[in-house]
């Protein structure tokens, strides 16, 4: 994990307890960064130019696509993950965007919170979830 040695040193139980105390909006903020980094890494070798890399990443790191990817993942989520998704989806959106429906923003926030949650709790599970998004 990139999070830090203090966090890594915690037992799995203590780590889960601490992560559950992190506000969902903060998990979503982290998840957004993790997902964008995953997409940049995935596209790095496939793209010939930086412009093409950027276009490919932006096509997947946006609220509409993240909402769609959440629907792809839902059948494969554990009860714990579904709970994170449900709670994050019910957050009031932080801002207003004219070009994106509120329901899509909520789904995207839930996707990002799930990614952030798994980044901090179980990198192997995170990888398997991201691999599921890679094939769609």
Catalytic positions are 32
HEC readout, 75-115: HHCCHHHHHHHHHHHCCCCCCCCCCCCHHHHHHHHHHHHHH
In whole angstroms, what is the distance from residue 107 CA to residue 69 CA? 9
In whole angstroms, what is the distance from residue 49 CA to residue 99 CA? 28
């Amino acid at each position: 994990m990139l999070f830090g040695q203090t966090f890594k040193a915690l037992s799995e139980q203590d780590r889960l307890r601490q992560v559950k105390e992190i506000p969902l909006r903060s998990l979503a903020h982290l998840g957004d960064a993790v997902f964008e980094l995953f997409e940049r890494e995935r596209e790095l070798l496939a793209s010939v130019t930086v412009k093409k890399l950027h276009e490919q990443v932006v096509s997947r790191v946006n609220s509409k696509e993240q909402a769609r990817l959440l629907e792809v993942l839902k059948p494969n989520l554990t009860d714990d993950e579904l709970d994170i998704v449900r709670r994050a989806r019910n957050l009031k959106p932080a801002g207003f965007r004219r070009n994106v429906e509120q329901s899509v923003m909520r789904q995207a926030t839930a996707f990002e919170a799930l990614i952030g949650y798994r980044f901090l709790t179980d990198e192997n599970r995170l990888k398997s979830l991201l691999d599921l998004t890679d094939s769609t």
